[in-house]
Amino acid sequence: MDLKLHQSGNKKAGKLSVSDAVFAAPYNEALIHQVLNAYTTRARAGTRSHKTRAEVRGGGKKPWRQKGTGRARAGTNRSPIWRGGGITFAAKPKDYRVKVNRKMYRGAIRSILSELARQERLSCIDEFTVDEPKTKKAKEVLAGMGLEETLIITDALTENAFLATRNLPRVDIIDMAEIDPYTLIGFNNVLITKAAVEKMEAWLA
């Protein structure tokens, strides 16, 4: 299949022939959901921890005798119903990671890229370069292609490109090695450099 190819400094767009296996794969919603769920749950720290009645300090002595006081019987002041006592169902550190193998992960990336291409939200550029680390320069490059909310994927992230785009709202630039499904679906448009497309085809084919 062909993707729209923008030329640096040229408003005319051409075509770039890309692999159907990577950019024309069937849309697999169930797989994408599973991979996204695994990706987001891995971000959870899982470090929340409470103390049970066995872990709270104190409580070794019975507060008062069993009978004759008129009060409810109590065996320890560290009981969950006492102020300062332990927690009944105490939360403990937990690992929320869900295993997803490489084949599934790459399949989800292919499915997302292919759907973006079908919706004409995916385009290419020969190279994304700016002469100076100025926001105005990056804005002019994107405006020339009619793009606003855009994820830019490059084969090698340069300092000028990073500094020029970091203050643009709803615009982000990443290296090809940093691609993840959550970031790919978070933007209206995705712009990939020609060199990054070649690396992506070698990785996902």
Domain extents for the chain?
2-43+100-204, 45-95
Q: What is the pLDDT of residue 8?
A: 73
Q: What is the pLDDT of residue 1?
A: 84
| CA–CA distance, 99 with 105 (Å, rounded to integer) | 10
Q: What is the pLDDT of residue 19?
A: 92
Contact 123, 4 (CB under 8 A): yes
Burial (CB < 10 A; 0-12, 13-18, 19+), residue 173, is buried
Q: Give the model's confidence band at 14: pLDDT under 50 very low, under 70 low, under 90 confident, else very high.
A: confident
The answer, yes or no, to whether residue 10 has pLDDT greater than 70, is: no
Q: Give 17-38 pLDDT, tens digit per residue.
A: 999 999 999 999 999 999 999 9
Q: Give the model's confidence band at 144: pLDDT under 50 very low, under 70 low, under 90 confident, else very high.
A: confident
The answer, yes or no, to whether residue 6 has pLDDT greater than 90, is: no
The answer, yes or no, to whether residue 11 has pLDDT greater than 90, is: no
Q: Give the model's confidence band at 171: pLDDT under 50 very low, under 70 low, under 90 confident, else very high.
A: very high
Q: Output the CA torsion sign for 95, 182, 37, 197.
A: negative
Instruction: Average the pLDDT over 94-115 and give the result.
Output: 94
Q: Give 49-103 pLDDT, tens digit per residue.
A: 999 999 999 988 999 999 999 999 999 999 999 999 999 999 999 999 999 999 9
pTM: 0.83
The structural architecture, per CATH, of the domain 2-43+100-204 is 3-Layer(aba) Sandwich (3.40)
The pLDDT mean for the chain works out to 92
Closest CA to 52 of 83, 79, 84, 90: 90
